[in-house]
């Protein structure tokens, strides 16, 4: 009887640990090469981001029609934000990473695609999706 009780307790412990491990998987990483697709009012575009994540810090490069540009940002949990500047336009990607996929919004500040204020400032947004290569 005592051996059966110990066996049942151990079985519940093992099953509990296995279930806990499945629920609390490691945080997804942005480190790697990402194929991105942006859908904007001007049409669709693609680019490649080569990113490195070190804790909450993100560094890397954008590679697309604008050339190769340095990227910096932060990640907390699955939420990330990174930014680069092209021709005086700050381009910010804000989104979520889920495994080997990302999605979210791209914000363009000082963009020529929107009506600007007197100082020449303006913003517009697009959506993006991406997949790790």
Q: Helix (H, G, I), strand (E, B), or coil: what is residue 29?
A: coil
| pLDDT at 41 (0 to 100) | 84
Report the alpha-carbon distance of residue 11 to residue 24 in Å, rounded: 20
- Once rounded to an integer, what is the mean pLDDT over residues 26-39? 90
Is-contact 91 107, C-beta < 8 A? yes
Gap between the Cα atoms of 107 and 92, Å rounded: 5
Average pLDDT over the chain, rounded to whole?
Answer: 81
> What average pLDDT does this structure show over 5-17?
49
Sheet strands (E) in 1-133:
32-40, 43-54, 57-64, 67-76, 79-86, 89-98, 101-109, 123-132
Domain assignment of residue 21, yes or no: no
Pairing relationship of beta strands 79-86 and 101-109 according to DSSP bridges: unpaired
| 110: in domain | yes
pTM: 0.73
Query: What domain count does the chain have?
Result: 1
Domain presence at residue 46: yes
Average of per-residue pLDDT across 12-36: 63
Where residue 101 sits, what CATH number does that domain have? 2.40.128.120
Domain housing 53:
32-132
* pLDDT-derived band at 118, boundaries 50, 70, 90: very low
Rg (C-alpha) for the chain, rounded Å, is 22
CB 41 within 8 A of CB 124: yes
Confidence of residue 48 (pLDDT cuts 50, 70, 90): very high
In a domain, 126, yes or no: yes
Helix (H/G/I), strand (E/B), else coil: 73: strand
pLDDT in tens, 56-111: 999 999 999 889 999 999 999 999 999 999 988 899 999 999 999 999 999 989 84
Asked whether residue 60 is domain-assigned, the answer is: yes
- Number of CB atoms found within 10 A of residue 89's CB: 17
**Domain-located, residue 16:** no
Task: Write down the pLDDT at residue 103.
Answer: 98
Q: Is the pLDDT of residue 26 over 60?
A: no
User: Residue 14 domain-assigned?
Assistant: no
Burial of 110 (0-12, 13-18, 19+ CB in 10 A): middle
More confident residue, 31 or 121: 31
Is 101 among the domain residues? yes
């Amino acid at each position: 009887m005592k051996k059966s009780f110990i066996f049942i307790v151990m079985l519940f412990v093992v099953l509990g640990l296995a279930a806990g491990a499945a629920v609390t998987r490691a945080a997804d990483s942005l480190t790697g090469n990402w194929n991105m697709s942006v859908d904007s009012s001007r049409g669709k575009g693609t680019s490649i981001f080569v990113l490195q994540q070190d804790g909450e810090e993100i560094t890397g490069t954008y590679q697309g029609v604008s050339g190769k540009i340095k990227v910096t940002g932060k990640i907390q949990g699955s939420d990330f934000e990174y930014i680069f500047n092209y021709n005086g336009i700050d381009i910010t990607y804000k989104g979520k990473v889920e495994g080997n996929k990302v999605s979210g919004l791209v914000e363009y500040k000082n963009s020529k695609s929107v009506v600007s204020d007197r100082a020449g400032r303006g913003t517009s947004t697009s959506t993006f999706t991406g997949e790790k290569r």
